[in-house]
Amino acid sequence: MANPIGNLNKVFESRIRLGIMSSLMVNAELSFNDLKQTLEVSDGNLATHLVNLEENGYIKVHKGFIGRKTNTTYSITKAGEKAFKEHVEALENMIKGMK
Amino acid sequence: MNEQRQQIESTLHDIKSMMERSSRFISLSGWSGVAAGVCALVGAWFANREIQLFLHENYPANDLERGKYIFRHGSAALFNQLFLIAIIVLIAALISAFFFTFLRSKKTGTPLWGNTAKRLSINMAIPLIVGGLFIMQMLKLEYYVLIPPACLIFYGLALVNASKYTLGEVRYLGYGQLILGVINIWLPEYGLYFWAAGFGVLHIVYGLVMWYRYEK
């Protein structure tokens, strides 16, 4: 029998990382500021979690410019999308199993 | 077991709410609706005064039948005057709506011109710009009688379309405008009343409901 908890992704245990992924699932790309405002977190905190997700290959970073100002945007990768969906599914299955 | 279940449910709820928050513009203030509605009612009052003045000058005082069919018998000069009033109402409504939403976005700490605001504006603008062109041509071709329902219908469609990118209740405001607009097609002589009910009364009701729900 499959262990439902085995499908939970350790990376998404953090509420902020889960928030980043949720936001990127429904937006083609978001800037650092967009994410900061949605999740209501500090710059440093958000940056750390973004690096973590990037290292896991779940998000892509695009460095661009608006005029002279740097504009960094983030988008979800195929692998990220898959991992996120599996995680949500695992959560849902756990609830179903408890009924 | 129950505790764990609650925890998972709250996580799933968080995921859903973060998806919503990041894809919808939620700083829209209820007062913006109230202010836009008040502008529309003031505008309708001025429009009515213009119509009465026109009737007084052109028809005997007791000729009520003519008054009813003002949209068929009014002159181009009168309708250009009414159009000017409508444009002033639109500008005043936009400025006041912007002002209250600006205050609210300050309060909630979200930016006024972010990702979500951009998407909302684009999706709102498409039906409005097309509708605006359509109505301008109606004015030129003197199809006055259909201008009020056209305003309500295009605006209603814009709201229904935009509701995916902001607070979901906007959709019901859109349905309201569409219902009034459609009825108005068959009761064309009451255009100004439908216009005042849609742009005035519905906005105020919507605004108060939203204020009560989210800002009180």
What are the pLDDT tens digits along chain B (216 aa)? 678 888 888 899 989 888 888 888 888 899 999 999 999 999 999 999 998 888 888 776 665 565 566 777 778 888 889 989 999 999 999 999 999 999 988 887 777 787 788 889 999 999 999 999 999 999 889 888 899 999 999 999 999 999 989 988 999 999 999 999 999 999 988 899 999 999 999 999 999 999 999 888
In chain A, the domains with their CATH numbers are 11-98 (1.10.10.10)
Reported confidence tier of residue A40, pLDDT bands at 50, 70, 90: confident
Is residue B206 in some structural domain? yes
Interface test with A, best of B1, B9, B106, B115 (most A CBs within 10 A): B115
Is residue B8 in some structural domain? no
Is residue B196 in some structural domain? yes
Is residue B20 in some structural domain? no
pLDDT of B74 reads 76
Note down the domain range covering B148.
30-215
Is residue B102 in some structural domain? yes
CA distance A79 to chain B (A): 18
pLDDT of B60 reads 67
Q: Which residue from B minimizes the CA distance to A99?
A: B5
HEC letters along chain B: CHHHHHHHHHHHHHHHHHHHHHHCECCCCHHHHHHHHHHHHHHHHHHHHHHHHHHHHHCCCCCHHHHHCHHHHCCHHHHHHHHHHHHHHHHHHHHHHHHHHHHHHHHHCCCCCCHHHHHHHHHHHHHHHHHHHHHHHHHHHCCHHHHHHHHHHHHHHHHHHHHHHECCCHHHHHHHHHHHHHHHHHCHHHHHHHHHHHHHHHHHHHHHHHHHHHHC
CA distance B8 to chain A (A): 6
pLDDT tens-digit readout, A44-53: 999 999 999 9
Cβ of A88 under 8 Å from any chain B Cβ?
yes
Reported confidence tier of residue A1, pLDDT bands at 50, 70, 90: very low
pLDDT of B156 reads 97
Is residue B147 in some structural domain? yes
Is residue B112 in some structural domain? yes
Is residue B57 in some structural domain? yes
Cβ of A66 under 8 Å from any chain B Cβ?
no
pLDDT of A6 reads 64
Q: Number of structural domains, chain B? A: 1
